[in-house]
Amino acid sequence: MARGVLTAMLATLLSAGAMAQPSQLNLRKGVTDISSQVYDLHMTIFYICVVIGILVFGAMFIALIFHRKSRGVKPANFHESVKVEVAWTVVPFLILIAIAIPAANTLIAMEDTSKADVTVLVTGSQWKWHYKYMENDVEFYSVLATQPEQIRNKFNKGENYLLEVDKPLVIPTDKKVRFLVTSDDVIHSWWVPDFAVKKDANPGFINEAWTRVNEPGIYRGQCAELCGKDHGFMPVVVVAKAPAEYDAWIAEQETIQRKAKEEEQKLLAMNMDMTELMELGSKVYQSSCAACHMPNGEGLPGVFPGLKGSAIAIGDMTKHIDVVVHGVSGTAMQSFGKQLSLKELAAVITYERNAWGNNTGDTVQAKDVNAVLTGK
């Protein structure tokens, strides 16, 4: 029985290995030289295991079939054989050496991060990724784009359910891209299966990994280290573009980000009214705050504090702004000063001070937030 199940399942696994595109059954070959080396290693060791399995289980099932008491056999009495025992200690050892050599070579190649063309600082935080291009003035957060309604089964799930983000990381093909990986809070792990890159993001420390993508395309992965409540909801999406397209993209991003900063300064003088603030604030709250403080502002008692009627949300406004823009050290409350624009910050703080019956009547403007951020 066990053998039947086993052979059937091995057969499906083998046939899956033959399929070309990302398989539902097997490791993918990926789009880098390293990932295809890794795939070959995986298949080699898999076949070695299959062969050993067939030999061992074969011998066992022969014994089970032919050396049964019901066939009237008399049991032999041998119980040791130095020769055989030495053989089955030494032979596996040699097989291991044969596996270890190519594995070591691949590993050494994977860890060689020198001579990179592009360097990206990847920072994990609960539950989003931040990408910063070290050679350019471009940085942004990358957050899950799947609608909460899809997760709550109210809408139909899209094709890339849970594997889509608002702003993917963009990297050039045929260039060595180095990733410096770190974290702002707990340990995360940045993983793109198609690159065979998985590196832990440790708070306070940086790790390195690299890739050289051969084909343009969109590659999806996920956070691989348990990082709290929404660990399952922080995907990684990487778009690989041809170098010329990448250069155009990064130049465009630099302009956009510079302009946005200039715009922001202009907005300081502008005042928004309560309705506008509440409308925008509600949106920002749902995307940036609701994961912990919950859509109804009640939080998760004992884990994440509620905002409804909380001392901060109905107390001193400057303190409230300070908590939102700078975060609270030693807690899960992160700093949103760089994640959101001044306008969004003003709106979301206004929203928190007036939603769910908090009704302070306060409106917060971009200049108030800016004052706390810059100390002016």
**Options 216, 228, 243, 306; binder of another protein; rule CB under 8 A:** 228
Omega within 30 of 0 (cis) for the link into 88: no
Q: Does 367 bind another protein (CB under 8 A)?
A: no
Judge whether 30 and 193 are in contact, CB under 8 Å.
yes
Task: Confirm or reject binding of residue 230 to another protein (CB under 8 A).
Answer: yes
In the complex with another protein, the residue whose CB is nearer, 272 or 289, is 289
- Beta carbon nearer to another protein, 229 or 245: 229
Side chain identity at residue 326, one-letter code: H
Based on C-alpha coordinates, what's the Rg of the chain?
Answer: 28
Are 213 and 31 spatial neighbours (Cβ–Cβ below 8 Å)? yes
Answer for the pair 225, 232: CB distance below 8 angstroms, yes or no. Answer: no
CB of 101 to another protein, least distance (A): 11
CB nearer to another protein: pick between 127 and 278: 127
CB of 245 to another protein, least distance (A): 25
Backbone angles phi, psi at 157, to 5 degrees: -80, 135
Q: Produce one character per residue of 40-76: b if its CB has 16 or more CB atoms within 10 Å, e if not.
A: ebeeeebeeeeeeeeeeeeeeeeeeeeeeeeeeeeee
For 229-256, give one letter per residue: b (16+ CB within 10 A) or e: eebebbbbbbbbbeeeebeebbeebeee
The CB-of-275 to another protein minimum distance in angstroms stands at: 31
Which range binds another protein by CB under 8 A, 242-250, 274-282, 308-316, 327-335? 327-335
- What mask, x for binding another protein by CB under 8 A, covers residues 178 to 207? --xxx-xxxx-x-x-x--xxxxx-xxxxxx
* 14 interacts with another protein by CB under 8 A: no
Which stretch, 32-40, 246-254, 275-283, 306-314, contacts another protein (CB under 8 A)?
32-40
Task: Verify binding: residue 21, another protein, rule CB under 8 A.
Answer: no
Between 184 and 276, name the residue whose CB sits nearer to another protein.
184
Please identify which residue in 14, 33, 36, 110 interacts with another protein, judged by CB under 8 A.
110
What is the C-alpha separation between 252 and 227, in angstroms, rounded? Answer: 33
Site for another protein in 140-169 (CB under 8 A): 150-153, 157, 159-163
Residue 63 vs 242, nearer CB to another protein: 63
- Report d(CA 43, CA 4) in Å as an integer: 22
The answer to the question of residue 16 lying near another protein (CB under 8 A) is yes
Tokens of 87: 């053989």
Q: Does 77 bind another protein (CB under 8 A)?
A: yes
Residue-wise DSSP of 116-142: -SEEEEEEEETTEEEEEETTTTEEEEE
Q: Which two tokens stand for residue 41?
A: 């290693």
Question: Shortest approach of another protein to residue 197 CB, angstroms?
Answer: 7
Read off φ and ψ for residue 143, nearest 5 degrees. Answer: -120, 150
Binding pattern to another protein, positions 329-348, x when CB under 8 A? xxxxxxx-x-----------
Taking CB under 8 A as the criterion, the residue among 300, 309, 311, 359 binding another protein is 300
Rounded Cα–Cα distance for residues 4 and 26 (Å):
21
Q: Report yes or no: 173 and 292 within 8 Å, Cβ to Cβ.
A: no
From candidates 32, 37, 339, 350, binder to another protein by CB under 8 A: 37
Tell me if 41 contacts another protein by CB under 8 A. yes
- Find where tokens 């823009």 sit: 325
- Binding pattern to another protein, positions 115-144, x when CB under 8 A? xx--x-x-x-xx-------x----------
Least gap, CB of 129 to another protein (angstroms): 15
Of 244, 192, 197, 180, residue with least CA distance to 218: 192
Query: Under rule CB under 8 A, which residues in 270-299 are in contact with another protein?
Result: none
| Residue 52 lies near another protein (rule: CB under 8 A) | yes
Q: How many residues bind another protein (CB under 8 A)?
A: 137
Cα distances from 289 to residues 17, 98, 136, 296, 351, in angstroms, run 43, 53, 29, 11, 11
Cβ at position 276, least distance to another protein in Å: 27
